Amino acid sequence: MSSEGLGVSVARKEDRRFLLGKGRYTDDLTLPGQSYAVFVRSPHAHATIRSIDASQALKAPGVLAVLTGADVAADDLGGIPCGWTIHNKDGSAMVAPPHPALAQGKARHAGDPVVMVIAETRTQAKDAAQLVEVDYEPHPAVAHLNAAVADGAPKVWDEAPGNVCFDWHLGDSEATDAEFAKADRIVSIDLTNSRVAPNAIEPRAANGHFDDVDDRYTLYTTSQNPHLTRLLLGAFTLKVPEHKLRVVAPDVGGGFGSKIFHYAEELLVLWASKRVGHPVKWTSDRSEAFLSDAHGRDHVSHAELALTADGHFRGLRVRTLANMGAYLSTFAPAIPTYLHATLLSGPYVIPAIYAEVKAIFTNTVPVDAVRGAGRPEATYLLERLVDKAARELGIDRVEIRRKNLIQPDQFPYQTPVALQYDIGDYPATLDMALQAIDYDKFADRKAESEKRGKLRGFGVSTYIEACGIAPSALVGALGAGAGLYESATVRVHPTGSVTVFTGTHSHGQGHETTFAQLVNERLGVPVESVDVVHGDTDRIAFGMGTYGSRSAAVGGSAIYKAIDKIVEKSKKIAAHLLEASVADIEFEDGKFRVAGTDREKTFGEIAFTAYVPHNYPIETTEPGLEDSAFYDPKNFTFPGGCHLVEVEVDPETGVVEVVEVAIADDVGVIINPMIVDGQAHGGLAHGIGQALLEEAVYSDDGQLLSGSFMSYCMPRAADLPSFKVGNHVTACTHNPIGIKGVGEVGAIGVPPAVINAVIDALAPLGVTDISMPATPEKVWRAIQAAQGGAA
């Protein structure tokens, strides 16, 4: 067995450049003749742009151009497209309003870009932007879901009556009604899934360069998927054929979903570069990021669970309003539908489910995928509801889950909401997590907390997610505008070292290491002799990028398929050299051997022979050793597990401290345990952040009130404990490595566990509900209200 293959915690190859300060992020790159762009953004949530006076700005030092929506229209740039179409209950298509790169006529959210100022230096561009005068006529605006669907609400789009983008449903309404009709108990809940800002620590940036010699555009951008960006630029926005477009996503400082989407700034820097004859770079401020990066979540739901008297789930009904913001971001409509409603069975047997989702326009920043994307919303809804059912029926919270979990012998399991889970062992992860947190001793810990004046609560969440999204034909049928396969090229060099070209993109996930481990596992080549190339459309044939925990499951599978072809060809070469039949060649530990003999050739010898084909089966086999593969997944993968949280609440101040987190996940076969644990840690912090600290708060008239790190609370080290992370592996049945995916599990599983723990802590005081984020004042008020206090 190889020492660096599957299951080995190889330290990361990419670390060195980051630790020495030699990373190459988009803003680090300054091109010859570089100019800089700054955007003037609407301060109003909803306003007519009466006029723009750029005369003073144009006279300012260093200014090269001041561009507006009129220029965008005159040059026939395409609007920012939405890549997923959802159909209404009646079969008609959703309302997909136009999304010009710079606002035309109206600004529809605070932060909507109105004017682009380009100057020789960043400072000159900022100074000149202050001189642009925009005359706005403000209109009434709406930010919140319930207000947007109320009678007489301000209209975000004339073409969307009632601000409805689509009214969609999934599941069997009649079968669900029948289950409710015969149910012993019905438990219902009203929930808000709070709005969050993604906040990768690297702000977005884009540097566009038009080369008039080659008549070719190059875009350096903070993207999770450069090929998708090129596809959308080529086909929809810049309208330039793809061979004239290169998109490079160099080192990217975190994505969390927010860097999936094609943003207006990417188009505008390319377009402007051709107009001004210089490369044009834009780098977002954090304040600007809050007003221009797509936000996440923002659901309001009503859900009902039908149960038997002894606590078996029989039916689930869900009605959700999902905020789309002012425009449809790239994948926005898919999030509350195919990534949310399809997950509502969770890890449970629920014979009938019916879900209705209405997507709503508001005068806010567009809402799209943020770590988990739809699946955290589904998990939060289900796990809060299950906890409430346990309380109302007087059943232990762990037992009600255990009673309803899909059992290992029930796979493949077809849910009533379209998905077929291939494999899992949910009781095993539940038991593993309970053991890790020492559940049996919880009462002792609670008593000890009480001595210190703290209320201790225990929270549980059993969850599944669907990732590695999934057969292209299926997602196409559901409305996706793209395929969701992945590509890989494995290039074996003459001396036996390897370069892997992957269409996924690593922005923290460690692919440069884990994908090298895949090569090591299969070919025995040391990890240090394998380089992984990603993020450049000129170097990689094609790809769909990294999101939805897809890279190892889909991108890794493509690498395995390409390696299959390499091995197959190598066997032919080995057979020739060893004067044996191909059928007799075995490949193991990096050596090709004639079965049952000690005659062998190393992989390095085969590689060399492939490139120096003096003694070679040239009649049947081409020289060289390189192959490519595209892998289209057969199904989603279904990670799952159990997340347990213990909190201490200070009843005097309402402060909640997370004191224990123990999780057991099944993310399938693990390449690098250290990296997998790291992904779980990050997801947990993200999920705990949403549960307790973070919220993108809008005023009723559409001003973002928490628009900086002064007011939007990002989790810090002192807000979190160390995490106990365990894994129980069942191998995915339909991809060649058995991988499911780990990038999002923390953010999906943990928020309801935190809130369930807070409610558990406060239950003795009479508190039955608390919403995210459970801020100190909210907790304090809940305590006061439960105790009949003045608050």
Partner 1 sequence: MRNFEFHRPQSVADAVTLLQGNDAAKLLAGGQSLLPVMKLDLAQPSDLVSLAGIPGLKEIRSEGNDLVIGALVTHHEVASSPEVRQRIPGLAALAGGIGDAQIRNRGTIGGSLAHADPAADYPAAVLALGATIVTDRRSIAADDYFTGLFSTALAPDEIITAVRFPVPERSAYAKFPHPASKYAVVGVMVAKTAGGVRVAVTGAGSKVFRLSALEKSLSENFTSQAASAVEVAPGDLRTGGEASPEYLAHLVKVMAKRAIQACS
Partner 2 sequence: MATISLIVNEKNHVVDVEARTLLVELLREHLLLTGTHVGCDTSQCGACTVWVDAKSVKSCAMLAVEADGAAVTTIEGLAKNGSMHPMQEAFHTCHGLQCGFCTPGMVMRSTELIQRNPNPTEDEVRHGLEGNLCRCTGYHNIVKAVLSAAETVRGGAQ
- Which residues are near partner 1 by CB under 8 A? 130, 287, 652-653, 693, 706, 709-714, 719, 775-777, 780-781, 790-791
DSSP 420: E
Q: Does 681 bind partner 2 (CB under 8 A)?
A: yes
Q: Terminus-to-terminus CA distance in the chain, angstroms? A: 65
Which partner in partner 2, partner 1, none is near 11 (CB below 5 to 8 A by kind)? partner 2
Among 273, 504, 509, 546, binds partner 2 (CB under 8 A): 509
Nearest to partner 1 of 529, 706 (CB atom): 706
Q: Does 55 bind partner 2 (CB under 8 A)?
A: no
Pairing of strands 35-41, 280-283: parallel
Sole window of 23-31, 85-93, 157-165, 260-268 interacting with partner 2 (rule: CB under 8 A)? 23-31
Which partner in partner 1, partner 2, none is near 630 (CB below 5 to 8 A by kind)? none
Displacement of CA 705 from its chain's centroid (Å): 25
Q: Does 309 bind partner 2 (CB under 8 A)?
A: no
Quote the tokens at residue 102: 């710079």
Q: Give least dist CB 114 to partner 1, A.
A: 18
Sole window of 194-202, 394-402, 482-490, 545-553 interacting with partner 2 (rule: CB under 8 A)? 194-202
Q: Give least dist CB 723 to partner 2, A.
A: 5
Outline where DSSP puts E strands in 622-764.
Answer: 626-631, 640-649, 656-666, 724-727
CA–CA gap between residue 684 and residue 319 (Å, rounded): 27
Q: Give least dist CB 497 to partner 2, A.
A: 22
CA angle (553 as vertex; 550, 555 as ends), nearest 5:
75
Considering only residues 230 through 289, tell me which ones interact with partner 2, judged by CB under 8 A. 251-254, 256, 285-287
Nearest to partner 1 of 391, 778 (CB atom): 778
Which partner in partner 2, partner 1, none is near 791 (CB below 5 to 8 A by kind)? partner 1
Q: Does 203 bind partner 2 (CB under 8 A)?
A: yes
Among 683, 741, 749, 751, binds partner 2 (CB under 8 A): 683
Residue with tokens 């599941």: 171
Outline where DSSP puts E strands in 113-184.
Answer: 113-119, 133-138, 164-171
Between helix 776-786 and helix 745-762 the angle, nearest 10°, is 30
By CB neighbour count within 10 A (0-12 exposed, 13-18 middle, 19+ buried), where does 353 fall? buried
Radius of gyration of the CA atoms of the chain, in A:
27
CA–CA gap between residue 606 and residue 613 (Å, rounded): 10
Q: Give least dist CB 388 to partner 2, A.
A: 28
Q: Does 722 bind partner 2 (CB under 8 A)?
A: yes
Q: Give least dist CB 652 to partner 1, A.
A: 5
Q: Give least dist CB 780 to partner 1, A.
A: 6
Structural contact between residues 162 and 82, judged by C-beta atoms closer than 8 angstroms: no
Structural contact between residues 294 and 109, judged by C-beta atoms closer than 8 angstroms: no
Q: Does 12 bind partner 2 (CB under 8 A)?
A: yes
Which partner in partner 1, partner 2, none is near 652 (CB below 5 to 8 A by kind)? partner 1
Between helix 745-762 and helix 375-393 the angle, nearest 10°, is 30
Nearest to partner 2 of 171, 203 (CB atom): 203
Q: Give least dist CB 199 to partner 1, A.
A: 12
CA within 13 Å, CB half, 652: 4
Q: Does 25 bind partner 2 (CB under 8 A)?
A: yes
**Nearest partner of 536 among 72, 132, 219, 112, judged by Cα:** 219
Residue 303: count of CB within 10 angstroms of its CB: 21
Among 407, 708, 768, 787, binds partner 2 (CB under 8 A): 708
Nearest to partner 1 of 59, 709 (CB atom): 709
Q: Give least dist CB 713 to partner 1, A.
A: 4
CA–CA gap between residue 603 and residue 606 (Å, rounded): 5
| The length of the chain, given as a count of residues | 791
CA–CA gap between residue 111 and residue 704 (Å, rounded): 9
CA within 13 Å, CB half, 789: 12
Distances in Å between the Cα of 558 and the Cα atoms of 87, 571, 631, 638 are 32, 20, 5, 19
Q: Per-residue x/- mask for partner 2, residues 336 to 375, rule CB under 8 A?
A: ----------------------------------------
Which partner in partner 1, partner 2, none is near 438 (CB below 5 to 8 A by kind)? none
Quote the tokens at residue 153: 């609400």
**Nearest partner of 409 among 730, 637, 695, 633, judged by Cα:** 730
Nearest to partner 2 of 24, 182 (CB atom): 24
Cis peptide before 526 (omega within 30 of 0): no
Q: Give least dist CB 779 to partner 1, A.
A: 11
Q: Does 74 bind partner 2 (CB under 8 A)?
A: no
Structural contact between residues 626 and 489, judged by C-beta atoms closer than 8 angstroms: yes
Q: Does 682 bind partner 2 (CB under 8 A)?
A: yes
Q: Give least dist CB 470 to partner 1, A.
A: 38
Displacement of CA 63 from its chain's centroid (Å): 38
Q: Give least dist CB 60 to partner 1, A.
A: 13
Nearest to partner 1 of 87, 781 (CB atom): 781
**Nearest partner of 509 among 497, 499, 521, 517, judged by Cα:** 517
Nearest to partner 2 of 28, 589 (CB atom): 28
Residue 692: count of CB within 10 angstroms of its CB: 28
Which partner in partner 2, partner 1, none is near 717 (CB below 5 to 8 A by kind)? partner 2
Which partner in partner 2, partner 1, none is near 304 (CB below 5 to 8 A by kind)? none
Q: Does 473 bind partner 2 (CB under 8 A)?
A: no
Which partner in partner 1, partner 2, none is near 653 (CB below 5 to 8 A by kind)? partner 1
Nearest to partner 1 of 484, 692 (CB atom): 692
CA–CA gap between residue 289 and residue 222 (Å, rounded): 13
Q: Give least dist CB 657 to partner 1, A.
A: 12
Nearest to partner 2 of 364, 509 (CB atom): 509
Which partner in partner 1, partner 2, none is near 775 (CB below 5 to 8 A by kind)? partner 1
Quote the tokens at residue 274: 């051709």
Nearest to partner 1 of 585, 658 (CB atom): 658
Among 678, 703, 736, 763, binds partner 2 (CB under 8 A): 678
Query: Which residues touch 263 (CB under 8 Å, ≥6 apart)?
Result: 80, 204, 206, 292
Q: Give least dist CB 440 to partner 1, A.
A: 33
Q: Does 674 bind partner 2 (CB under 8 A)?
A: yes
Q: Give the type of residue at 539.
A: R
Q: Which chain residues interact with partner 2 by CB under 8 A?
A: 11-12, 14-25, 27-28, 30, 122-123, 199-203, 251-254, 256, 285-287, 507-510, 674-675, 677-678, 681-686, 708-710, 714-718, 720, 722-723, 746
